[in-house]
Copies of this chain bind each other. A is one copy, B any other.
Amino acid sequence: MKVYDNKNWWQFLFLITKSDTLSKLAPLILLLMVYSLGVAYAELHYFKVTADSWVKNLPQMHSLLSFVISMLLVFRTNTAYDRWWEGRKLWGQLVNTSRNLAIKIAAVTDSKDEEIRKFFRRAIPIYAFALKDHLQSKQTQYSLHEGEIEGLPAKVDVEKHVPNQIAKSLFAKVNLLYQGGKITGDQLIVLNGELSAFTDICGACERIKNTPIPYSYSVFIKKFIMLYTLTLPIGYAYLLGYLAAPIVGFVFYVLASLELIAEEIEEPFGTDENDLPMGKMSENIQRHVGEILE
């Protein structure tokens, strides 16, 4: 995610950034403009379309369907944004859960017991880093603690589901504390919400990552945009002549941009400019948990 100054409108008109849809769509827009010029030339010079021609009333259909296409694109935009925002909320919950667990561990355990604090100071932020790598399909081997802690593995097994192993270690450690009498049953219950939340967050992120919008909608919207734009110059050539070319290009730019941005936004766990800054958030978790459990 790029931080920017929102205020200068002119800047946005001429600014063409790497992530801009204009640069991505440029080849297709040019192709459509050439096609529109061809259609206009054919109608004006070859078929010699006149006011009697039926073709001049074709834009009626485009008006009729303009509502449907607009609403479909808004549906697309809304669902894509909802996924993106849900992804952001889940990572916000991860921050909260990490902090709350650290605050509670700091309170319920003996502040002199450096070994407990060390474990959680290390294991809590690792969950965030591991989830980030898991969502980006990276395989990283994390060591959970130095030295030997009975019943806890020191390293994760990259062949298996990594965040699950860290969640399991966290829960196992808390249970060891409970069985060893270092925390009471009431305190175990108090810690339970945070411990379950890690796996809930992981599963919800996986859901967003693995489930795109239904295939039927995805295909239908693209097909509709293409058919709509390809038939547009046929009627416009009579009304607007060669001006039809830039207009068709502009209409396609608007419609296709919305589809393109939606595609980019709906999977927020990648490394695009619009994707969530999971690396930075993981570092924040590390810093804050470190502060709390120091």
| A residues whose Cβ falls under 8 Å from a Cβ of B | 1-2, 4, 6, 9-10, 12-13, 15, 17, 19-21, 28, 54-55, 57-68, 70-75, 77-79, 81, 84-85, 88-89, 92-93, 95-96, 99-100, 103-104, 106-108, 111, 151, 160-161, 164-165, 167-168, 171-172, 174-175, 178, 184-190, 192-194, 196, 199-200, 202-204, 206-207, 211-212, 214-220, 222-224, 226-227, 231, 236, 239-243, 247, 250-251, 254-258, 261, 263-265, 273-274, 288, 291-292
Contacts and interface: CB of A to CB of B under 8 A. Distances in A.
A247 B58 contact: yes
Contacts of A226: 9-10, 12-13
Given A81-B79, A88-B211, A214-B265, A100 B254 contact: no
B164 A196 contact: no
A108 to B, nearest CB: 6
Contact of A57 (B58, B67, B171, B240): B240
Q: How many copies does the complex hold?
A: 5
A203 B291 contact: no
B54 A28 contact: no
Contact of A6 (B174, B187, B192, B263): B263
Contact of A107 (B74, B88, B172): B172
Contacts of A107: 168, 171-172, 174-175
A193 to B, nearest CB: 7
Contacts of A13: 222-223, 226-227
A105 to B, nearest CB: 10
